[in-house]
A and B are shown apart, each in its own frame.
Chain A
């Protein structure tokens, strides 16, 4: 029992030390998106897995290591990046296989080159350290090269990864020294456990670096995606500014025409002409500008969408109090309202019942949140994926971009997006904490 105790506590202690080092490395990464909890959880899982499998480890050196590595990787990827299970399994398995193969190759070459068998090899700690160091560096470099080539890795990520892998041999030396401390009886049963212990430490270190790598890659991917969304939102906004200029021009013309009409009306009063004038007035309705909210950007969007709704014979109800919304950037107002209303109008167009061709947009401040609800009916079934309805748009580059660009804009304010749907009703609700008057409160909302 005492043997188990020493064994367990040493393993835990070394794992904890390693977790601390890896956490430090993570803190050096450019994007601190990683929840430490899930990392520690994955490491603990890995430790337990190795503890259980450690004793049969010698026999299944390669297969076993790859398997455990893969399982931990998958769990980790699922916990850290919100990607689908299939992608996590694929990525985890691929990384582990590639990693373990590289290390096994180095081991094989060393055994071959020195013409020794595995038992001799394991009895020589120094040889192990050098081999593991080489294997880890080779595996890590291979992965880094692949991903740098793919172009989604920032140069700043690489140094922490190498630090992790270089620290591993130091840890192993530490373990070896524990074994050789004067107080420990070399003939006691402890000693039998040391090779296993060594393997566990090495493996824990390796998995930790793999995890850091996976995380670094996912963080990079997020960064790339955020940049892509930002440029999408920006291009929408630019397009919107362009349209605004043209609509201003149209409006000026409309105003001039109206003046002319008024003159004609004063000159002639026969019934027929009045009817005719009424007709022209109706046509001009679509050019009319409603001062909905007092916010320039929002007014233009609402007017534009109102015109679109009018054209599709959709009832467009605007109940918007935007008096507290001034803190939103114009580009974000454009992304949030523009995309939400586009989606709603798109869905409402498919609805047959005239009663249900309605899009309602409500907005006000409720309990310290700027709250926006865009409600519409829809026809047919919604296809769901990833907790949200899937886009019906055909253009591949705009597929699903609407909701994602809303989310991207919200991430600047710690805002939240919710979707409610029952029968044939659909609501998109956006909640943004209003922090302007609270001054310093922003950081506490940043990642909720």
Chain B
């Protein structure tokens, strides 16, 4: 049910060993700066990556052109299961970036990878991960104790009087708290109270539809209060501008 709350899981998939090593070193350096620790999984081709990808990784570095299966095809496979992971494509050509957007990969490393470019594209990704790691919440209920990583919470829903249900990437966790308490706890982490019964993580919002409904990246929809709509659009714009 739970991922490891501490370590950052990074997968690097590239047929070129030198590139893999380089990305690994640059990641390590950046994680040191942020006080993060990570574990790396390396793959030589897309097929082995799709087969052996660990559950709930944080960042995927995928070379676009490898063997039979391309990095973009591999990303499509991964996205079916995982809408949260940050995918970074690497290529000699800018032309593939546009295809990358179709799998919500907004970071793109042009080869040859140099420190400056890597820093530009990845700094805020690691910064956000560090912030998430500093803010892991613990929830106790009848089923046991759960560590809650705000980045993996899709939305929080009022499920009864004084109980809420946290819908996370890993499943649902019930707890005896008010929605207001979670709203306060998640301040500054990209959440928005779109309805009296819902607190949504803006990173998982796919779009706000005209009929006062928002669509989550998993396809699920949530109601939006009419009077919160304008503020939601504003908050979503803020969240979106950090992603591209």
A residues within 8 Å of B by Cβ?
A: 317-321, 355-356, 360, 362-369, 371, 373, 375, 416, 418, 420, 425, 429, 431, 433-435, 438-441, 444-445, 448
Contacts and interface: CB of A to CB of B under 8 A. Distances in A.
Contacts of B210: 435, 438-441, 444
B138 interface: no
B194 to A, nearest CB: 13
Given A362-B106, A416-B237, A368 B94 contact: no
* Contact-residue bracket for chain B: 20 to 34
Given A355-B116, A448-B230, A369 B106 contact: no
B227 to A, nearest CB: 12
A418 B234 CA distance: 11
Interface in B107-142: 108, 110, 114, 116, 120
17 contacts: A319-B108, A320-B98, A321-B102, A355-B116, A362-B106, A364-B101, A367-B208, A367-B236, A367-B240, A368-B207, A368-B236, A373-B241, A418-B237, A418-B238, A438-B210, A445-B233, A448-B234
A423 to B, nearest CB: 11
Nearest to A368: B207
A429 B233 CA distance: 15
Interface string B224-244: 000001100110111111011
A362 B244 contact: yes
Contact of A368 (B120, B208, B229, B238): B208
A366 B233 contact: no
A371 B240 contact: yes
Nearest to A419: B241
Contact of B236 (A320, A369, A439): A369
Contacts of A369: 236-237, 240
Contact of B101 (A321, A368, A439): A321
Nearest to A427: B241
A317 B110 contact: yes
Given A416-B237, A434-B207, 20 more contacts: A317-B94, A319-B98, A321-B97, A321-B101, A355-B116, A356-B116, A362-B244, A363-B244, A364-B106, A366-B243, A366-B244, A367-B206, A367-B208, A367-B236, A367-B240, A369-B237, A371-B243, A418-B241, A433-B233, A448-B233
Interface string B1-29: 00000000000000000000000000000
Contact of B98 (A364, A367, A440): A364
Nearest to A441: B210
B185 interface: no
Nearest to B206: A367
A375 B233 CA distance: 23
A433 B236 CA distance: 10
A355 B202 CA distance: 34
Given A355-B114, A368-B207, A439-B210, A319 B97 contact: yes
A149 to B, nearest CB: 39
A445 to B, nearest CB: 7
Given A362-B106, A448-B233, A368 B241 contact: no
Nearest to B226: A444
B147 interface: no
Contacts of B244: 362-364, 366, 371, 373, 429
Nearest to A439: B210
B237 to A, nearest CB: 5
A440 B241 CA distance: 25
Contacts of B241: 371, 373, 418, 420, 429, 431
A244 to B, nearest CB: 23
Contacts of A448: 230, 233-234
Contact of B106 (A366, A425, A434): A366
Contacts of A318: 94
Interface of B: 94, 97-98, 101-102, 104, 106, 108, 110, 114, 116, 120, 202, 205-210, 229-230, 233-234, 236-241, 243-244
A356 B205 CA distance: 34
A339 to B, nearest CB: 18
A439 B209 CA distance: 10
A438 B110 contact: no
A368 B217 CA distance: 11
Given A355-B114, A441-B210, A448-B233, A366 B240 contact: yes
A375 B121 CA distance: 11
A35 B226 CA distance: 19
A445 B237 CA distance: 12
A440 B202 CA distance: 24
Contacts of A365: 101
A438 B209 contact: yes
Q: Which of A364, A371, A433, A438 has the most CB of B within 10 A?
A: A364
A431 B237 contact: yes
A365 B209 CA distance: 15
A60 B96 CA distance: 75
A371 B207 CA distance: 13
B209 A367 contact: no
Contacts of A368: 206-208, 236
Contacts of B102: 321
A444 B104 CA distance: 27
Contacts of B202: 367
Contacts of A371: 240-241, 243-244
Nearest to A414: B233
B87 to A, nearest CB: 13
A388 to B, nearest CB: 15
List 4 tightest A-B contacts by C-beta distance, closest first: A368-B207, A441-B210, A319-B97, A438-B210
Given A366-B106, A445-B233, A448-B230, A425 B120 contact: yes
Nearest to B240: A366
A431 B240 contact: yes
A360 B208 CA distance: 28
A446 to B, nearest CB: 10
B119 to A, nearest CB: 10
B101 to A, nearest CB: 4
Contacts of A356: 116
A440 B209 CA distance: 11
Contacts of A416: 234, 237
